Amino acid sequence: MSKVNLAHDTGRLGPLAAYGGAKVPGPLWFTEAIGVPFETAQVMVEGCPIHYLRWGERSQPGLLLVHGNGAHAHWWSFIAPFLARDYNVAALDLSGMGESGHREHYTMALFAQEQLAVCADAGMFEGGEPPIIVGHSFGGFVTILAGALYGERLAGTVIVDAPVNPPGQPHGPPNRELRPHRVYPTLADALSRFRLAPEQPCENDFLIDHVARQSLKEVEGGWTWKFDPKIWRGFSIGDGSERLRSTKCRIAIFRGEQSSLLPPDVGAYMYALLGRSAPVVEIPQAQHHVLLDQPLAFIAALRALLADWNHSRPLRNPAA
């Protein structure tokens, strides 16, 4: 796995440097979406507090949204309101990221356990319909594992631009040096250092600004990143191919049409692993950071998939 979704300082200025710390104005749909009220809560998982946001009525079917590496729940806070009319929607901060606590050691199994714990705490197992989990990038890898381990408790999983590469292609945790975060004297200075990884152009600076501000915290001497730089110490992703084959619930693959991480050949490999009976949906004009590139197209595609799943029966037989 290539390094994904990590806000980090490369020593170079990012796209927000031009704004000098000022908030980047967004369109009406965005301002209305982030203005929709939500609840905040936390649940303890193996001694670590896991923070999450929640929208909609608890009586509705559950929908859990999972961010990528080094990211946080607010990558979804401009998307969740569009889904909350029909779903009890939650977006979590995985441990070591966002507002959640840090651990001495991180594992894929713990991250998957955190997903199920948030589903339970948000009331998603209380009704007659099991929840669906949507995971982007690294969150997609965790969601693949959740589908393999806990799929019988889920209605489905949606994997968004999280590549399961064919044999012989690179996979594994990001190759990053473990070093303490820098502290920046001002918020404007910190924002100016925010860059997407993998790097790519993105026309929506207002969304980059939104996720960047939620990636930072004020500390003595200035501002620094929230995520734990030690997450990848001794970390193992595991065998994504076997987990994908072992999915015990419905599954769909979303990819950015222009994604360098999940190109068409990787999408075809994942499709074959799933017995050619699960959809692979391409989001037009999107690269890896689908949520930032084409948020409305992504919302429309996800709504269409969920509507179909709500009234149809799966063609594939999930792994026993």
Tell me the pLDDT tens digit for each residue of 119-152: 999 999 998 899 999 999 999 999 999 999 999 9
Tokens of 238: 């595991």
Averaged pLDDT, 197-208:
95
Domains present along the chain, CATH in parentheses: 15-311 (3.40.50.1820)
Per-residue confidence at 6, pLDDT binned at 50, 70, 90? very low
Instruction: Please state the pTM of the whole predicted model.
Output: 0.94
Residues 32 and 26: their CA atoms lie apart, in Å, by: 10
* Banded model confidence at residue 84, pLDDT cuts 50, 70, 90: very high
Q: Which residue has the tokens 């440097």?
A: 17
pLDDT confidence bin for 289, thresholds 50/70/90: very high
Q: What is the pLDDT of residue 314?
A: 80
pLDDT at 186: 98
CA distance 223 to 146: 34
What mean pLDDT is predicted for residues 219-241? 93
Instruction: Please identify which residue in the block is written with the tokens 């589908």.
Output: 147
**Running DSSP on this structure, what letter comes out for residue 184?**
B
Measure Cα distances from 235 to 6, 61, 105, 110 in Å: 16, 33, 8, 12
Q: Which of 216, 290, 302 is nearest to 259 (CA)?
A: 290
User: Looking at residue 175, what is its pLDDT?
Assistant: 54
Distance CA(152)–CA(76), nearest Å, equals 25
Chain centroid offset of residue 303 CA:
17
| pLDDT confidence of residue 130 | 97
In 3-state terms, the chain is what percent helix, strand and coil (to 5)?
30, 15, 50
If one counts every other C-beta atom within 10 angstroms of the C-beta of residue 41, the result is 14
Three-state DSSP state, 302: helix
Whether 108 contacts 141, CB under 8 Å: yes
pLDDT at residue number 11:
63
Q: Kindly list the distances between the CA atom of residue 138 and the CA atoms of 134, 175, 240, 310, in Å, as whole numbers in the listed order.
A: 11, 14, 12, 26
Place 319 in a pLDDT band, splitting at 50, 70 and 90: low
Q: Average of pLDDT values for 182-188? A: 97
